[in-house]
Structure 1
Amino acid sequence: MLDITRRIYPGVPVWPGDTPYSYQLTAQIAQGDSVNVGKITTTTHLGTHLDAPWHYVDTGEKLESVPLSVLVGPCRVVDARGQKALSVAFLKGVELAERSLFFTGQPNDWADFPHHFMHVEPEAARYLAGQGVRLFGTDCPSVDPLTSKDLPGHKAFAQAGVYILEGLALEGVPAGTYELLALPLRLEGADAAPVRAILR
């Protein structure tokens, strides 16, 4: 099995202005408590995470409505290094699957949050859907540029019925066919959740 989940640790980079990750002990055996217990404070878009359509479309599905069948099954890892924007022209030259994950060259550990990364052209999102893709995965933190406010890539995926998995750790994973398991926390009514993503 290949773990394609980003590490979560104090100081892990998050989207600029979003809630940083924090882990604190609320009970400690060393201080006389019977157990060690911690609490976490963070964004729902931490590291490797699944977007629910409600994140970018106010009438979209919330997290609990994302079907598990989309998140488990055969997938294809595509080498997309060198692409500033994912285009139809590029996609026509690669093999796709119902679950397609794109390695753009992002390192598995970010020293700082990336400000420049591959985004997805709306026409490419529609093309992917037309090819039977139901889950789009990327090692980037978003399918739209960092400064985008209208989120055309996200909205094109929503209109096409394709779910989005962001922040994968694909460095060192050869392009090819795998089985994907990418299960989010079961957060009712949420816009997103961290995911433990595995390739087998």
Structure 2
Amino acid sequence: MIYDISREMFSTPTFPGDPVPEKSVHMGFNKPVPDVYQVTKISITGHTGTHADAPRHFIPEGKDAAEVELSRCIGRCRVAEHNGSLTPEDIRRMSEPDVKRLLIKGNIIVTPESAAEIVSCELLTLGVEGMTVGTEGTIAQIHRILLGAEVYIIENLDLSAVPVGDYFLSALPLKMAGLDGSPVRAVLMDFE
């Protein structure tokens, strides 16, 4: 079974203050003199819809979206469920035994302590359903902890139809040099 865990880019709300994505027909069939093909122009940020943060999002010398190590974006993962603040104990419990990519269902708050535990547990990937990790006062701190250790952060996932369990994840960023994040088409594949 394949689960599409991505949100549709143009209908998903954006992070407060970010520009709303736009699309327009550059070449099209519905013009007075129709074109032979259709080409759509889009205007988005690297953090539109379901997306991954590259280290450069908060680390000036960090890797950009084209430089992210692909082994962080694809491979075995665990989907766990939690609501509220994450503790270091929660991270240890969800990542046992030997989980390297963790996606969390629910309305969670990553705390500085749980972010440090994610790094300590050597997780490669953290995926969340929210638009960001942390709260208004801790967003920068938590991103710096995780991205400074090159933890691949996937935000704005839709895990509503996915049962808790182990899967194969594919959430590759687009190869766009210089960008601090990239939309991803995230999917989970069930092993059974």
> What is the distance in 1 between the residues matched to 2:52 and 2:60?
17
Match of 2:91 in 1: 91
> What is the distance in 2 between the residues matched to 1:150 and 1:130?
19
Match of 1:142 in 2: 132
Contact 2:66 2:173 (8 Å CA) reproduced: no
Match of 2:6 in 1: 5
Letter of the structure 1 residue corresponding to residue 120 of structure 2:
G
Q: Which runs of 4+ in 1 moved over 6 A?
A: none
- Alpha-carbon deviation of 1:150? 6.2
Match of 1:74 in 2: 76
SS in 2 for 1:78: strand
- Alpha-carbon deviation of 1:121? 1.2
Which structure 2 residue ranges, 5 or more long, are not aligned? none
Contact 1:119 1:142 (8 Å CA) reproduced: no
Q: Does 1:37 align with 2:39?
A: yes
> What is the distance in 1 between the residues matched to 2:29 and 2:147?
47
Contact 1:119 1:153 (8 Å CA) reproduced: no
Letter of the structure 2 residue corresponding to residue 119 of structure 1:
I
Cα gap change, 1:86 to 1:78, in 2 (>3 Å): same
Letter of the structure 1 residue corresponding to residue 123 of structure 2:
V
Q: Which of 106, 125, 132 is matched with 2:115 structurally? A: 125
Which structure 1 residue ranges, 5 or more long, are not aligned? 106-117
> What is the distance in 1 between the residues matched to 2:59 and 2:114?
19
Letter of the structure 1 residue corresponding to residue 114 of structure 2:
A
State the TM-score, normalizing by the size of structure 1: 0.85
The percentage of counterpart residues that share the same residue type is 33
> What is the distance in 2 between the residues matched to 1:199 and 1:3?
7
Contact 1:125 1:160 (8 Å CA) reproduced: no
- Once the two structures are superposed, what CA deviation does each residue of 1:64-99 show, in whole Å capped at 9, x if it has no partner? 22111111100000111x22x221132243344111
> What is the distance in 2 between the residues matched to 1:184 and 1:13?
20
SS in 1 for 2:66: helix
Corresponding residue pairs, total = 184
Mapping of residues 20-59 of structure 1, within 5 Å: 20-31=20-31, 32-59=34-61
> What is the distance in 2 between the residues matched to 1:182 and 1:56?
20
State the TM-score, normalizing by the size of structure 2: 0.89
Superposed CA RMSD in Å reads: 1.6
- Once the two structures are superposed, what CA deviation does each residue of 1:91-123 show, in whole Å capped at 9, x if it has no partner? 243344111001115xxxxxxxxxxxx321122
Q: Which of 96, 103, 106 is matched with 1:104 structurally? A: 106
